[in-house]
């Protein structure tokens, strides 16, 4: 532990995509799924444009003291009829650059997302975390989440 880092959370810009992809790839599960190259595969840039066009999705980054991008998180606000028509918040793709871990950056990102979802009228925030991510499960429990559901997936 090196104490809690001061970060600034702001919307991701197109110039951040490479830094975000590097964080997604710097991960036990992400390593096999991402493709880090220069220039970046166009599928990432196209996906960023789709995210930007979607008013219910916020992709944010955490900026460190020097202005570098050291974390990211995607929050989706999903309208729906259940729970008397309350929207749900869905958190995806939480990452912190490896050399900045254990400094409270992920915690600040997730607390931002929970507060943001609440301010948008959500009564529930949900996320899926892989069965093997035991540390992540402990982390989310510390922030008030419950392991109430089974997260089921099918990949093509």
Residues numbered 97-156 forming contacts with a copy of itself, rule: CB under 8 A = 114, 118, 122-131, 137, 140-141, 143-156
β-bridge mates for residue 60, sequence order: 11, 73
Shortest approach of a copy of itself to residue 14 CB, angstroms?
11
Of 9, 17, 62, 73, the one binding a copy of itself by CB under 8 A: 17
Of 69, 74, 105, 106, the one binding a copy of itself by CB under 8 A: 74
Of 1, 3, 82, 99, the one binding a copy of itself by CB under 8 A: 82
Beta carbons of 110 and 91 less than 8 angstroms apart: yes
β-bridge mates for residue 71, sequence order: 62, 96
90 makes contact with a copy of itself (CB under 8 A):
yes
Shortest approach of a copy of itself to residue 77 CB, angstroms?
9
β-bridge mates for residue 91, sequence order: 75
HSE of 153, CA atoms in CB hemisphere, 13 A: 8
Residues sharing a CB contact under 8 Å with residue 50, sequence separation 6 or more, in sequence order: none
What's the full length of the chain, in residues?
156
Of 79, 98, 102, 135, the one binding a copy of itself by CB under 8 A: 79
Place of tokens 């197109």: 14
Q: Is 109 in a helix, a strand, or coil?
A: helix
21 makes contact with a copy of itself (CB under 8 A):
yes
DSSP state at residue 4: P
> Which residues contact a copy of itself by CB under 8 A?
17, 20-21, 24, 30, 33-35, 41, 43-48, 50-51, 54, 56-57, 59, 74, 76, 78-88, 90, 92-93, 114, 118, 122-131, 137, 140-141, 143-156
């Amino acid at each position: 532990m090196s104490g809690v880092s001061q970060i600034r959370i702001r919307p991701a810009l197109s110039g951040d995509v490479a830094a975000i992809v590097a964080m997604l790839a710097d991960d036990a599960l992400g390593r096999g799924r991402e493709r880090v190259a220069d220039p970046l595969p166009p599928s990432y840039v196209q996906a960023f444009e789709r995210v930007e066009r979607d008013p219910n999705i916020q992709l944010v980054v955490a900026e460190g003291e020097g202005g570098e991008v050291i974390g990211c998180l995607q929050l989706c606000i999903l309208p729906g009829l259940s729970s008397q028509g309350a929207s749900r918040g869905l958190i995806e793709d939480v990452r912190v650059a490896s050399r900045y871990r254990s400094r409270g950056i992920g915690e600040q990102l997730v607390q931002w997302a929970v507060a943001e979802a609440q301010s948008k009228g959500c009564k529930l925030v949900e996320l899926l975390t892989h069965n093997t991510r035991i540390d992540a499960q402990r982390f989310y429990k510390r922030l008030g989440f419950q392991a109430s559901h089974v997260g089921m997936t099918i990949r093509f």
